[in-house]
């Protein structure tokens, strides 16, 4: 275990945060991490911000401080390199709650994928592999809202920023050596685009396997059910699972077709839930669809024979992507997730967002881009022991 200890400043007043910003005038880099609580809540509670920079180490208490603008201004300063590890969740939280659009980003988890590390890689593992230090076990289930914080919590929290500058220096040096620095920085700064944080308000429905396998009327019910659950959770600031557990939604879908009686007789549906909301669910199921609702439910495609036939091509393209990533010593999971090729086939408008215009296209090559763009006309041929992908009618 690492025995590094550092002095730090604990900031829990607005005046202290203003002084922190003044102290940070002229800094060239800033590392940060956050601790938060999302369980049993709709709105995540930001509990702690850990900071390292040229001036030292700081712990900022957002529970006590109502206006984080002085800190957020530093993250939005293009002259300061902001260093994180797996910072997407931190940035997403700060964007959703404060409207922050960060600038000049470097994420050690992302960048490490360009120097041969697998992606995603935990912070402790990256620290061990790059510095040789072993970090202690984390406080994944600790109550970060408690005050005063324990010394163990403080030590763990500081460990999350102690190594960020050292990792930045080591990874940047290796990126300069392998010629992948521009690619890594391009990928890190995807998080500096406000579009990165957009989420379709109906994303839960659109990504539901249950919706894809259901008939139109059941899809409509699911769309309304997901929206009702979300709106009630937001209003009460409860988790969606507290409003309606996901595990009973499929049973509810089956039962609502038969009305109140069928739902009450279903032993897998909580009686209290049906007694309280059952008639509303029935009305939700029977109410005619609006034009807007029809457009949303039609965008969810049911499984088809054609899609099953596409699976072989999708798997082959995925293996080609993995091979080319391996050749370049880049983690294939960083290039694209397994479902990305299928998504690009189903949603042509998603191709630009997934492939981008820079390093992915350069890595994958013009032939791969052509195959994706012509997926509907793509055929697989095996001739003379050779496999060929041929775009064409």
Please give the pLDDT value at position 301.
66
Please give the pLDDT value at position 139.
61
Q: Is the pLDDT of residue 304 over 60?
A: no
Q: Is the pLDDT of residue 141 over 80?
A: no
- Which has more pLDDT, 313 or 137? 313
Q: How many CA atoms lie within 13 A of 314 on its CB side?
A: 18
Model pLDDT for residues 143-179, shown as the tens digit of each residue: 999 999 999 999 999 999 999 999 999 999 999 999 9
Distance (Å, whole) CA 111 – CA 355: 18
Please give the pLDDT value at position 264.
95
Please give the pLDDT value at position 205.
95
Whats the size of the chain, residue-wise? Answer: 393
Distance (Å, whole) CA 385 – CA 389: 13
Q: Are strands 45-53 and 56-60 parallel, antiparallel or unpaired?
A: antiparallel
Model pLDDT for residues 327-370, shown as the tens digit of each residue: 999 999 999 998 899 888 878 888 888 887 699 999 999 999 99
N-terminal to C-terminal alpha carbon distance within the chain: 61
Nearest Cα to Cα of residue 83 among 178, 172, 21: 172
Q: Is the pLDDT of residue 137 over 70?
A: no
The kind and range of the H/E element at 12 are none
The kind and range of the H/E element at 107 are strand 105-107
Please give the pLDDT value at position 339.
87
The mean per-residue pLDDT over the stretch 122-135 comes to 96
Answer for the pair 136, 1: CB distance below 8 angstroms, yes or no.
Answer: yes
Model pLDDT for residues 92-114, shown as the tens digit of each residue: 999 999 999 999 999 999 999 99
Distance (Å, whole) CA 120 – CA 136: 20
Domain 9-197 has CATH 3.30.420.10: yes
- In this prediction the pTM is 0.90
Model pLDDT for residues 273-282, shown as the tens digit of each residue: 999 999 999 9
- Residue 224: both structure tokens together: 């309304």
Please give the pLDDT value at position 379.
85
Please give the pLDDT value at position 311.
85
Distance (Å, whole) CA 36 – CA 93: 9
* CATH T-level assignment (fold) for domain 203-298: DNA polymerase; domain 1 (1.10.150)
Please give the pLDDT value at position 356.
77
Model pLDDT for residues 191-246, shown as the tens digit of each residue: 999 999 999 999 999 989 999 889 999 999 999 999 999 999 999 999 999 999 99
Q: What is the DSSP letter of 358?
A: S
- Residue 81: both structure tokens together: 């390199």
Please, what is the average pLDDT of the chain? 93
Answer for the pair 293, 264: CB distance below 8 angstroms, yes or no.
Answer: no
């Amino acid at each position: 275990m690492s025995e590094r200890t550092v002095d730090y400043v604990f900031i829990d007043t607005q005046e202290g945060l203003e002084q922190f910003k003044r102290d940070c005038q002229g800094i060239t880099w800033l590392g940060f991490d956050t601790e938060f609580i999302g369980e049993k809540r709709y709105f995540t509670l930001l509990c702690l911000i850990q900071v390292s920079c040229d001036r030292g180490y700081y712990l900022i208490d957002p529970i006590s401080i109502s206006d984080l603008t002085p800190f957020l201004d530093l993250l939005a300063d293009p002259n300061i390199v902001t260093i994180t590890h797996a910072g997407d969740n931190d940035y997403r939280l700060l964007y959703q709650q404060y409207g922050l659009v960060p600038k000049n980003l470097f994420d050690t988890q992302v960048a490490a994928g360009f120097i041969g590390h697998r992606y995603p890689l935990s912070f402790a593992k990256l620290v061990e592999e790059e510095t040789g230090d072993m970090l202690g076990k984390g406080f994944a289930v600790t109550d970060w809202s408690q005050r005063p914080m324990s010394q163990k919590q403080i030590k763990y929290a500081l460990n999350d920023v102690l190594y960020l500058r050292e990792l930045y220096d080591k990874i940047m040096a290796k990126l300069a050596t392998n010629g992948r620095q521009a690619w890594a920085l391009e990928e890190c700064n995807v998080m500096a685009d406000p579009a990165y944080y957009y989420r379709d308000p109906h994303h839960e429905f659109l990504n539901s396997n249950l919706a894809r396998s259901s008939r139109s009327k059941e899809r409509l019910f699911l769309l309304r059910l997901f929206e009702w659950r979300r709106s009630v959770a937001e209003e009460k600031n409860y988790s969606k699972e507290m409003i309606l557990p996901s595990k009973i939604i499929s049973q509810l879908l089956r039962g609502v077709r038969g009305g109140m009686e069928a739902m009450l007789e279903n032993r897998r549906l909580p009686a209290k839930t049906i007694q309280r909301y059952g008639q509303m669910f029935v009305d939700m199921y029977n109410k005619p669809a609006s034009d807007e609702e029809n457009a949303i439910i039609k965008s969810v495609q049911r499984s088809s024979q054609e899609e099953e036939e596409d699976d072989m091509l999708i798997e082959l393209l995925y293996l080609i992507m993995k091979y080319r990533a391996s050749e370049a010593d880049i983690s294939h999971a960083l290039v694209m997730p397994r479902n990305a090729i299928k998504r690009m086939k189903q949603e042509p408008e998603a191709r630009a967002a997934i492939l981008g215009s820079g390093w992915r296209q350069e890595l994958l090559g013009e032939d791969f881009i052509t195959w994706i763009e012509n997926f509907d006309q793509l055929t697989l041929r095996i001739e003379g022991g050779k496999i060929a992908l041929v775009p064409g009618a």
